[in-house]
Chain A
Amino acid sequence: MNRYFKAQPVGTSDEWVRNPDWLPMPELDGTEEVFYALYAVFELGGNYLQFRAVTSGGLQVVDFGDGTSGTFNSGNIFTKEYEYNDIDPSTETIDEITGLKYRQVLIKITTTSSFDGFMIFREGDKMMNYLDIYIHAPNLTSFTNNSATTPWLERFRMYEWPVMPLNSVFVNATRMTETNIDWTKPTNFGSATYTNFKNFGDIDAINCVGNNTLFTFTRTMSNLKIGNVNYYGTNNAPFGTLNGINRIGKVYAPNVTSLMFLEWHNLEGTLEVEAPLLVNGTFFARDCSRVNKIILDAPNIENLNNFALACWAVSEIIFTDASNVNTINNNAFGNGTRNLRRLRLPGIKVSLYLIYVSIDVPEMVDLFNDLADLVALGLPSQNINITLSTASQKGLSQAQRDIALNKGWTITG
Chain B
Amino acid sequence: MEDTSGFYKQLENEWWYAPNFVYHRDYTLDRNNNRIDIDGWVWYDEAPQEYVDYINSLENE
Binding site for B on A (CB under 8 A): 329-330, 351, 381, 383, 385, 387, 392, 401-402, 405-406, 408, 410-413
Contact = CB atoms under 8 A, between A and B. Distances in A.
Contact of A387 (B14, B20, B24): B20
Given A405-B25, A411-B23, A412-B7, A329 B18 contact: no
B58 interface: yes
Given A383-B16, A385-B18, A387-B18, A410 B58 contact: no
B19 interface: yes
10 contacts: A330-B58, A351-B14, A351-B16, A381-B24, A383-B16, A387-B19, A410-B23, A412-B7, A412-B23, A413-B18
Nearest to B59: A331
B42 to A, nearest CB: 14
- In the complex, the 7 A-B pairs of residues with the closest C-beta atoms, listed nearest first: A412-B18, A405-B25, A411-B23, A383-B16, A410-B24, A412-B22, A401-B23
B22 A411 contact: yes
A340 B16 CA distance: 22
How many chain B residues sit at the interface, stated as a range, is 10 to 19
A413 B25 contact: no
B51 interface: no
Contacts of B58: 329-330
A410 B22 contact: yes
A397 to B, nearest CB: 11
Interface string B19-41: 11111110000000000000000
Contacts of B23: 401, 405, 410-412
A351 B9 CA distance: 13
A401 B21 CA distance: 12
A17 B60 CA distance: 52
Nearest to A402: B25
A379 to B, nearest CB: 13
A412 B17 contact: yes
A331 to B, nearest CB: 9
